[in-house]
Amino acid sequence: MRKLKAPHYDIRKKDDPHSTLVIIAGADSDEAWGAWKTYKDPTLNKIIMGNYCEGDFPPDYKPIILDEQQLNALPNTLIATDKHEIFDIYQAGTITQEQQYLLEKCLAETTNVKLARLFSLPNLLSKNITPTDLMPSISRIRNDNALSEVVAHNALEKQKQADYPAYFAKLNRLEKTEEILLKSPPMAISRDNELFSYDKTTGIWAEITDEAESVIYNFLRSHGIELPNLNKQKELASLLIKEIRYKAEKEHNHAYIMNEPNSDVLCFRNGVLDKTTGKLLPFNPNLNLRSRLDININEIQNTPTTFLNWLDFIAEDNEERRTLLLSVLYVVLVNRYDWQMFFELTGRGGTGKTTFLKVCELLAGKDNHTAINLIDLDKNAHATASIVGKSLLTAEDQPVYNGDGSTVRAITGKGTITVNPKYKKPFSYEPKAVLLIANNAPMRFKENNGGIERRRVLITFEKAVERSQRDSTLIDKIASELSDIVRYLLTIFNGVDNEQKAYSSLLKQQDNPQIKQILNSLNPIRLFAEEFTTTDEVKGLKISVRGCGGGNIPSRQQAQEALYPAYLFFCDRHGLNKPLSRQSFLNEVDNAFKLQGKQPIKVRKIDNTQRTNVYYSNIEDTFLRWDD
């Protein structure tokens, strides 16, 4: 039945729900309102507007009007929104007990009333007027309604249990899906439209997109319902998925939205470990976990002997290196993607790179990790779908990579990438993941503006494990110590000061002279820039000289006088067949100087010649190296 609107309802529904809403009710309400709005009764107006109401009302305030007919029509008359809390009701003329009950019932059932007072207009001029508090009556009505709902619900449940198959058979298709959702384990839909079901005994959400028909079958069998034909079961399964998707996408019901796994926790057989605090928590569907480690976590920390022995070996008896490796593991454990670094492990086979990656995978959790191919990520938007929701990305044994590292920069620099899942709508995504790369040799990037190098932490692995000492069960042994390893890392880097030690260790590795030398050898421009210094004084090398370029190889004299000829001379001596153009070279070498902590290039015209602030650090040594 369509509800009527009380006079001025459309105006008052826009009010702040915490403000007082004034109602004039009774057989003479129209006359009282007429007196108010025409100011024929200024005393009444003053009383209602200021003396007894909560708050200030403008002169043109229009209260809700309920005459005798509208009172009798309650609760099918709209008088306030379901959020309104405070009501002052002014009685104008007769209000019967039945009408007052209907008004109280309407407030109890259709609003969020917390204060309701009834004033009698004939007594308003009394000095010590006390309004009637309607809240006791309203509370009784609410309690009676709640009791009635419980009784009705219990009666319905008894009826359902007496013959559930008969009850289920009477439901329409949509009601059947609602009933299945109510009595089945929690189900939710992910961002990429996959269906998941929660198992409270393991704390894990399992992907069941292709098993929806099994959900229907299991429900029908467990409730003794006669199985319909397969087509009917398929229809119910399809409708079930559509209903879950509708609740998630249209109603925004969070109970049916499968969010990304919580990367701050690790799931074990006997509970969930909070990696940030070290506390053991109970299973919780809101953590959105999709895998667990099939071991129990220890309540008391023990010494992770196997892990520490392995760590000592790859640290090569170097305490600084040990801290560096622990810092990387800590970054993975607590997902400090916001430090905007990626880690590159290099060295020949058998030096422990792969084992280090596997330990990182254990710390992140299986469902939080995925292996990637950097070339695919750069070129194929479909490939980026694999990194959604992951906190650890690993790239191992990559083929020769000469890309510009755009995806690496996006992953490590809080950037946004385009995800284009097959057969689904593309969307923008901001990765929150730590990236680890393991190769036999360092990767080469075309980008030279510093975006990659500012984020790159290169760690070399040089000590190989002798074949006789290799242990094929090492990872399994380390996995069995995982809870102790987690607590060990949290203890070492607990607190802001200790966490800063981890960050400082990573920065120190970036400034390591040996590492810089390795990176310079990968980048001809950076290797070239190492031979020079820059100052404030712009009286150094010329930019170029006549006759230089166009395939001509500069003479030693020209290379000693000008910067671009020096670069061309360097390329010739190092077998670089495709030197940069002059302007591209100047841009790249300027970036290289900045990365090396030197002043940027400055140019000034002196005697019709463009001079720079660039000088050879030691011209004799430079040409000895270039001629070698």
Buried b (16+ CB within 10 A) or exposed e, 221-241: eeeebeeeeeeebeebbebbb
pLDDT at res. 401: 67
Please compute the mean of the pLDDT values over residues 283-297 and round it to a whole number.
Answer: 84
**How would residue 567 be classed by pLDDT, with cut points 50, 70 and 90?**
very high
CB 121 within 8 A of CB 92: yes
My answer on whether 459 and 328 are in the same domain is yes
* pLDDT tens digits, one per residue of 571-620: 888 888 888 888 989 998 998 898 888 999 999 998 888 999 999 999 99
Please compute the mean of the pLDDT values over residues 96-102 and round it to a whole number.
Answer: 86
Using the predicted structure, report yes or no on whether residue 502 has a pLDDT greater than 80.
yes
Using the predicted structure, report yes or no on whether residue 453 has a pLDDT greater than 60.
yes
Domain C-terminal end among 519, 545, 573: 519
My answer on whether 504 and 536 are in the same domain is no
The single-letter code of the amino acid at 398 is Q
My answer on whether 167 and 125 are in the same domain is no
Q: Which domain holds residue 243?
A: 163-256
The DSSP bridge partners found for residue 343 are 436, 457
- Output the CA torsion sign for 576, 579, 584, 589: positive
pLDDT at res. 157: 64
pLDDT at res. 1: 52
**300 found inside a domain:** no
Between 316 and 451, name the one with better pLDDT.
316
- What is the percent of the chain with per-residue pLDDT over 90, rounded to a whole number? 25
**How would residue 348 be classed by pLDDT, with cut points 50, 70 and 90?**
confident
* pLDDT tens digits, one per residue of 241-261: 899 988 888 888 888 888 888
Nearest to 452 by CA among 512, 405, 503: 405
Exposed/middle/buried for 529, CB within 10 Å: 0-12, 13-18, 19+?
buried
My answer on whether 20 and 140 are in the same domain is yes
Distances, alpha carbon 332 to alpha carbons 187, 264, 326, 489, in Å: 30, 10, 10, 11
**34 found inside a domain:** yes
CB 272 within 8 A of CB 282: yes
My answer on whether 555 and 580 are in the same domain is yes
**589 found inside a domain:** yes
pLDDT at res. 183: 86
Backbone angles phi, psi at 345, to 5 degrees: -100, 125
CATH number at residue 534: 1.10.10.10
Question: Residue 87: CB partners within 8 Å, gap ≥ 6?
Answer: 20, 21, 23, 80, 107, 111, 113, 115, 116, 117
* The total number of structural domains that make up the chain: 5
My answer on whether 278 and 354 are in the same domain is no
What is the average pLDDT value for the chain, to the nearest integer?
A: 84
**How would residue 535 be classed by pLDDT, with cut points 50, 70 and 90?**
very high
pLDDT at res. 52: 40
DSSP, res 367: G
* 272 membership: H or E segment, kind and range: strand 271-274
My answer on whether 25 and 99 are in the same domain is yes
**554 found inside a domain:** yes
CA atoms of 6 and 374, how far apart (whole Å): 66
> Strand 115-120 relative to strand 271-274: parallel, antiparallel, unpaired?
unpaired
**157 found inside a domain:** no
CA atoms of 463 and 484, how far apart (whole Å): 26
My answer on whether 328 and 477 are in the same domain is yes
The DSSP bridge partners found for residue 346 are 439, 460
Domain C-terminal end among 196, 231, 256: 256
My answer on whether 383 and 412 are in the same domain is yes
**158 found inside a domain:** no
pLDDT at res. 320: 95
My answer on whether 534 and 622 are in the same domain is yes
**How would residue 298 be classed by pLDDT, with cut points 50, 70 and 90?**
confident
CA atoms of 485 and 266, how far apart (whole Å): 12
My answer on whether 464 and 422 are in the same domain is yes
Using the predicted structure, report yes or no on whether residue 132 has a pLDDT greater than 50.
yes
My answer on whether 334 and 288 are in the same domain is no
Using the predicted structure, report yes or no on whether residue 402 has a pLDDT greater than 70.
no
- Output the CA torsion sign for 590, 592, 594, 596: negative
Nearest to 195 by CA among 182, 179, 214, 172: 214
Neighbours of 434 (CB within 10 A): 29
**299 found inside a domain:** no
Domain C-terminal end among 486, 519, 552: 519
**536 found inside a domain:** yes
Nearest to 595 by CA among 493, 492, 450: 450
Neighbours of 63 (CB within 10 A): 26
Which of 195-209, 284-298, 381-395 holds the top average pLDDT?
Answer: 195-209
CA atoms of 533 and 540, how far apart (whole Å): 10
